Amino acid sequence: MLAFRSEAHAGSWCRERGIARGAVFTAEQAWALARGWYEGRLDPAWRRRTPEEAERIFASAGLTGPFWRLV
């Protein structure tokens, strides 16, 4: 997952490499995703999330749809 100055920069990067545009989302969403995913990871009882749990974290950051589907 890379950072870009703007959505236009992300589009330019994809075009130059001939790759399909993936998912573009805001810095706020990236921060929400990082917090949802990584907070609590230093808890000794932490365990790897199930695909359903991971999808819920994506959704809590507003990241939904086929791109984010794991189940």
> What residues make contact with other proteins under the rule CB under 8 A?
1-7, 9-10, 12-14, 16, 19-31, 33-35, 37-39, 41-42, 44-45, 47-48, 54, 58, 66-70
Rounded CA Rg of the chain? 14
The pair of three-digit structure tokens given for residue 2, joined into one six-digit string: 């890379």
CB of residue 23 to other proteins, shortest distance in Å: 5
Closer to other proteins at the Cβ: 54 or 60? 54
Nearest CB to other proteins, comparing residues 60 and 67 = 67
Q: Nearest distance from residue 30's CB to other proteins, in Å?
A: 4
Eight-class DSSP state of 67: G
Cα dist from 23 to 28, 39, 43, 44, whole Å = 14, 23, 30, 33
